Amino acid sequence: MSQIVISSWGGTRKLPYAFTEHGVTMLAGILRSEKAIEINIQIVRAFIALRQYAIGYAELNRKLEAFMLETNMQFSDIYNALTEMASQNEQNKKPLNPVGYLAYDKK
């Protein structure tokens, strides 16, 4: 009888390819060599820089959203003014005499 074990999450589980910031901090507490401690400090600084970059990106995204909202309102105002001008033009239009020959139905 064969026993095949399937993960309860479905599929196969894979090990992660990277540490999180907290994992690096915990690893720094375990390792004792000067080189390992220096490398871990550099990795933690890289995580901090990455977090600051993400915060800056969020701020830039917020400013971009505000700019898009403002310009959409301006375009909306321009569109409304053009629509109003077009409707006034339609109302002020005089009927034009047709150009060319008139065709009469023969009865």
Sign of CA dihedral 88, 90, 95, 99: positive
Whether residue 1 is predicted with pLDDT greater than 70 in this model: the reply is no
**Would you state the structure tokens that stand for residue 61, as one six-digit string?**
């995204």
pLDDT category at 9 given cuts 50, 70, 90 is low
Give 45's contacts (C-beta < 8 A, 6+ positions apart): none
Do 44 and 28 meet the contact criterion of CB atoms below 8 Å apart?
A: yes
pTM listed for this prediction: 0.42
Domain boundaries, the chain: 21-90
Q: From CA 82, how far away is CA 67, in angstroms rounded? A: 22
Q: What is the pLDDT of residues 81-90, one digit of tens each?
A: 888 888 887 7
Do 21 and 47 meet the contact criterion of CB atoms below 8 Å apart?
A: yes
Q: How confident is the model at residue 73, as a pLDDT?
A: 83
Q: From CA 100, how far away is CA 84, in angstroms rounded? A: 33
